[in-house]
Amino acid sequence: MKILCVLYDDPKKGMPKNYPIGSLPKLGKYPDGMTMPTPKSIDFKPGELLGCVSGELGLRKFLESNGHKLVVTSDKDSEGCKADKELIDADIVISQPFWPYYLTRKKIESAKKLKMAITAGIGSDHVDLQAAMDNKVDVVEVTYCNSRSVAEHIVMMILSLVRDYHNQHSIVKAGGWNIADGVQRSYDVEGMHVGTVAAGRIGLDALRKMKPFDVHLHYFDRHKLPDSVEKELNLTFHESVESLVKVCDVITINCPLHPETENLFDDKLISKMKKGAYIVNTARGKICNREAIAKALESGQLSGYAGDVWFPQPAPNDHIWRTMPNHGMTAHTSGTSLSAQARYAAGVREILECFFEKKPIREPYLIVKDGQLAGMGAHSYSKGSATGGSEEAAKYKK
């Protein structure tokens, strides 16, 4: 079989010769008891770069020794790009949300042999899920692999926005010592109302991680959490996102991108937020309206916006979120720490082993199966597509 793997570029100075820490901590199961990825074996050293082109998700030896062909590229967006050419006769395509290969309907229909799209990570909105269902292409992801990595990033971003870390750091880097400049927008998070849009694996972990800061915790989700969890965290459940945003000083967004959540944070919803609130969005860029966020930061309706997700990706060089005031954006990095890469590379290997051996892929890994939303897809997504406008990614110049 032919496997097309679309990965982000190598480091500008080439692959690292060594890494800051020698070995990753050993983790047991995920908090809900789910086991970590369990492939029969791996051909990489956990803790090394795997998500870039030369890292190849550690798959080459395994695939080639089993008679398969692996093509790896980062060239994914412009007309005539390598990924589009290789897709035509590919059986399986693997892509990461950090550097998403947008599988639009047109591309899916161009790939007559395509059987499965694997997301090396979590969040399969870069695939036109409706087109995948219509063309019987299965879509799977490595559920839980980086949920907790993202929750750590959320805590970092909430604290850095509210305390105004980026500004304070840049003063020091510029050789300064201007205390008043450093603190004129700086607050403690203690006592604030912090709410999450969606309390799935990431949202719930972020709430748990914020609890020790002595904040008031809130959530909105299409699925209510068990009473015991609400009690443990002293959580307030909201029936609507409007009710949530009205009372929160900090909102973190943790739902997948699908037609129900696309453009959720538009001018109207942002105007219902508490004046001067903060948003941390590590879910997907398209859940927030690009112009509405920039406008709200300019006017002071929002005090800060941070996250690592954009639309499209890579974000065009003139994307307004690069230059808007009081933002703490990074490129899409939260779910691809070296720790997370080891888990999702192992998860992809597990999925491929199951596929080749015709064994069932774990139910929670399924998004689309046999033309239907399935597994986590049925729990967390709605039918339709959220890939519209993705061709703008070709505007990014390295």
Based on CB atoms, which residue is closest to ligand NAD, 182 or 200?
200
200 binds ligand NAD, rule: CB under 6 A = yes
Segment near ligand NAD (CB under 6 A), from 27-35, 62-70, 179-187, 255-263? 255-263
Among 2, 76, 201, 349, binds ligand NAD (CB under 6 A): 201
Q: How many CB atoms lie within 10 A of CB 24?
A: 17
Residue 111 or 250 having the CB closest to ligand NAD: 250
327-329 sheet: strands from edge to edge: 235-237, 216-220, 193-197, 250-253, 277-281, 302-307, 327-329
Q: 301, 274 in Cβ contact below 8 A? A: no
For residue 260, state whether it binds ligand NAD (rule: CB under 6 A): yes
Residue pointed to by tokens 């959320």 = 154
Among 309, 374, 386, 393, binds ligand NAD (CB under 6 A): 309
The whole-angstrom separation of Cα 99 and Cα 121 is: 11
The single residue among 221, 249, 262, 350 that binds ligand NAD, judged by CB under 6 A, is 221
Give, as ranges, the residues between 99 and 128 that touch ligand NAD (CB under 6 A).
121-123
Closest residue by Cα to residue 93 from 61, 77, 70, 75: 70
Nearer to ligand NAD, 92 or 376 (CB): 376
- Active-site position among 193, 332, 349, 362: 332
CA–CA distance, 389 with 394 (Å, rounded to integer): 11
Cβ burial of 360 (10 Å; 0-12, 13-18, 19+) is exposed
Please list, in sequence order, all residues whose beta carbon lies within 8 angstroms of the beta carbon of residue 248, skipping any fewer than 6 positions away: 193, 194, 195, 218, 273, 274, 277
| Spatial separation of the C-alpha atoms in residues 331 and 393, rounded to whole Å | 14
What single DSSP character describes residue 39? Answer: -
CB under 6 A: which stretch of 33-41, 80-88, 210-218, 329-337 binds ligand NAD?
329-337
The answer to whether the CB of 311 falls within 8 A of the CB of 286 is yes
In the bound state with ligand NAD, the residue whose beta carbon lies nearer, of 74 and 196, is 196
How many other C-beta atoms can be found within 10 angstroms of the C-beta atom of residue 381? 24
222 lines the binding site for ligand NAD (CB under 6 A): yes
Taking CB under 6 A as the criterion, the residue among 55, 256, 285, 375 binding ligand NAD is 256
Closest CA to 347 of 96, 46, 38: 38
User: Residues 66-95 vs ligand NAD: string with x where CB under 6 A?
Assistant: ------------------------------
Q: Which of 87, 108, 202, 367 binds ligand NAD (CB under 6 A)?
A: 202
Rank residues 86 and 308 by Cβ distance to ligand NAD and give the closer one.
308
User: What is the C-alpha end-to-end distance of the chain, expressed in Å?
Assistant: 32
The answer for 191, left when phi > 0, alpha when psi is -120 to 50, beta otherwise, is left
Catalytic status, residue 218: no
As measured in angstroms, the least distance from the Cβ of 260 to ligand NAD is: 4
* Region 363-382 residues binding ligand NAD, contact defined as CB under 6 A: 376, 380
Nearer Cβ to ligand NAD (1/264): 264
Q: x/- string (CB under 6 A) for ligand NAD, residues 144-183?
A: --xx--x---------------------------------
Catalytic residue among 130, 146, 289, 326: 146
Residue 313 falls in the annotated catalytic set: yes
Q: Which is nearer to ligand NAD, 120 or 297 (CB)?
A: 120
The span from the CA of 308 to the CA of 329, in Å, is: 6
146 is known as an active-site residue: yes
CB-based closest residue to ligand NAD: 200
Write out the binding residues for ligand NAD, residues 272-301 only, by CB under 6 A.
Answer: 282-284
Asked whether the bond before 312 is cis by omega within 30 degrees of 0, the reply is yes
Please identify every residue annotated as catalytic.
146, 284, 313, 332
Residues making contact with ligand NAD (CB under 6 A)? 121-123, 146-147, 150, 198-203, 221-223, 254-257, 260-261, 282-284, 308-309, 332, 334-335, 376, 380
